[in-house]
């Protein structure tokens, strides 16, 4: 009888501890997640990438998915549209953008300058002979006008192993490399190219490594990525999860990504295809392709 009472007491205590633990975990998730705002313009109708400015406080660059014209946007974390950037060539005709899928901010050819990189890297049918990266030097005058017309440098890239559909593009400030991770395969591939390039240059990407993404299709498809501005942290987003790595010393990012990642909080969003670190690397934002989509902010635990 005594043993039976002790067993019942043990089960009750275990149940209470489970409830308390679940409640604590739920409160932690609430504390580490909030809706910072909503996209406040009908122009922001299919957001596929987000990246923090390198020179403006509380400004993030976003862009629409395929079907939009040659442009990207500056917004606040609350979703207010601050400026729209149309990019044109020297003949004042818009570039024929096909499928822009990610955006990043980082170093470039001029020391102490910050650059926006827009990746026209989507390829649903794996048929494109090359993909294009557009580079824009951030200007202090950009936020003075609601519309800016700017001229980018562009880099054409080919894969060493046939065309790929990719949606994740990142900038490593330490090794000064541009990273691309493909989307739809069970084992995704990591490619790089030197960050510094000349306008109209053509290059072949270098295959650096592979990652097996667990789960089921299409939830496991890689849709975005980012490297923190100090180069110490990495995010990779699928439709269903957010993966996080911390760099060890100055090891290559592709090598860091061979280690088992930590899963970070993520509020599932339909067609959620954008993720970007805050400038200090202590948090990140996500949003989706829906019209007037919510912008979620997460603190890294």
- So what's the pLDDT on residue 67? 85
Distance from CA of residue 276 to its chain's centroid? 5
Return the H-helix or E-strand segment holding 92.
Answer: none
Residue 75 has pLDDT above 90, yes or no: yes
Q: Which of 29-38, 125-134, 241-250 has the lowest mean pLDDT?
A: 29-38
More confident residue, 265 or 29: 265
Phi then psi for residue 102, to 5 deg, are -155, 160
- So what's the pLDDT on residue 298? 98
Residue 254 has pLDDT above 50, yes or no: yes
- So what's the pLDDT on residue 171? 98
Residue 29 pLDDT level (bands cut at 50, 70, 90): very low
More confident residue, 199 or 18: 199
Residue 1 has pLDDT above 60, yes or no: no
Return the H-helix or E-strand segment holding 20.
Answer: helix 2-31
Residue 3 has pLDDT above 90, yes or no: no
Residue 30 has pLDDT above 70, yes or no: no
Residue 13 pLDDT level (bands cut at 50, 70, 90): low
Pick left, alpha or beta for residue 220 (phi over 0 → left; psi -120 to 50 → alpha; otherwise beta).
Answer: alpha
- So what's the pLDDT on residue 63? 98
143 contact partners, CB below 8 Å, separation of at least 6: 56, 59, 74, 82, 83
Which DSSP string do the residues of 237-265 spell out, in sequence order?
EESS-EEEEE--TT--HHHHTTSPPEEE-
Mean pLDDT of the chain: 90
In three-state secondary structure terms, 209 is strand
Residue 266 has pLDDT above 70, yes or no: yes
Residue 57 has pLDDT above 80, yes or no: yes
Phi then psi for residue 54, to 5 deg, are -95, -10
Q: Which of 21-25, 141-145, 266-270 has the lowest mean pLDDT?
A: 21-25
The β-bridge partners of 103 are 118
- So what's the pLDDT on residue 6? 52
Residue 226 has pLDDT above 50, yes or no: yes
- So what's the pLDDT on residue 88? 74
Residue 18 has pLDDT above 80, yes or no: no
- So what's the pLDDT on residue 8? 58
Residue 2 has pLDDT above 80, yes or no: no
- So what's the pLDDT on residue 24? 41
Phi then psi for residue 26, to 5 deg, are -65, -45
Q: How far apart are CA 288 and CA 77, in angstroms?
A: 14
Residue 97 pLDDT level (bands cut at 50, 70, 90): confident
Q: Specify the pairing of strand 147-150 against strand 81-87.
A: parallel
Domain limits of the chain? 1-31, 37-299
Residue 172 has pLDDT above 50, yes or no: yes
- So what's the pLDDT on residue 23? 38
Closest CA to 218 of 124, 296, 126, 97: 124
Measured distance between the N- and C-terminal CA atoms of the chain, rounded to whole angstroms = 46
CB distance 72 to 94 below 8 Å: no
CB distance 223 to 183 below 8 Å: yes
More confident residue, 19 or 47: 47
Domain 37-299 belongs to what architecture?
Answer: 5 Propeller (2.115)
- So what's the pLDDT on residue 89? 53
Q: How far apart are CA 188 and CA 205, in angstroms?
A: 15
Q: How far apart are CA 184 and CA 221, in angstroms?
A: 5
């Amino acid at each position: 009888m005594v043993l039976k009472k002790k067993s019942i007491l043990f089960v009750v205590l275990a149940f209470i501890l489970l409830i308390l633990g679940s409640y604590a975990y739920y409160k932690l998730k609430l504390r580490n997640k909030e809706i910072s705002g909503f996209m406040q313009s009908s122009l922001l109708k299919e957001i596929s990438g987000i990246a923090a400015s390198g020179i403006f406080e509380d400004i993030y660059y976003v862009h629409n998915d395929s079907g939009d014209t040659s442009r990207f946007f500056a917004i606040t974390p609350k979703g207010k549209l601050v400026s729209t950037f149309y990019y044109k060539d020297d003949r004042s005709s818009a570039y024929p953008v096909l499928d822009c899928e990610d955006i990043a901010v980082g170093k470039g050819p001029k020391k102490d300058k910050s650059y926006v990189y827009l990746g026209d890297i989507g390829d649903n049918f794996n048929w494109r002979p090359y993909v294009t990266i557009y580079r824009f030097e951030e200007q202090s005058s950009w936020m003075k006008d609601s519309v800016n017309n700017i001229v980018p440098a562009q880099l054409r890239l080919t894969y060493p192993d046939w065309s790929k559909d990719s949606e994740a593009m990142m900038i490593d400030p330490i090794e000064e490399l541009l990273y691309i991770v493909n989307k739809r395969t069970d084992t995704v591939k990591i490619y790089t190219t030197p960050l510094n390039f000349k306008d109209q240059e053509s290059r072949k990407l270098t295959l650096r490594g592979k990652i097996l993404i667990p789960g089921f299709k299409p939830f496991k498809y890689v849709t975005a990525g980012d490297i923190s501005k100090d180069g110490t942290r990495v995010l990779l987003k699928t439709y269903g999860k957010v993966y996080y790595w911390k760099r060890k010393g100055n090891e290559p990012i592709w090598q860091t990504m061979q280690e088992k990642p930590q899963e970070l909080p993520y509020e599932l969003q339909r067609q959620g295809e954008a993720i970007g670190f805050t400038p200090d690397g202590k948090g990140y934002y996500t949003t989706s392709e829906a019209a007037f989509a919510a912008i979620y902010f997460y603190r890294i635990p």
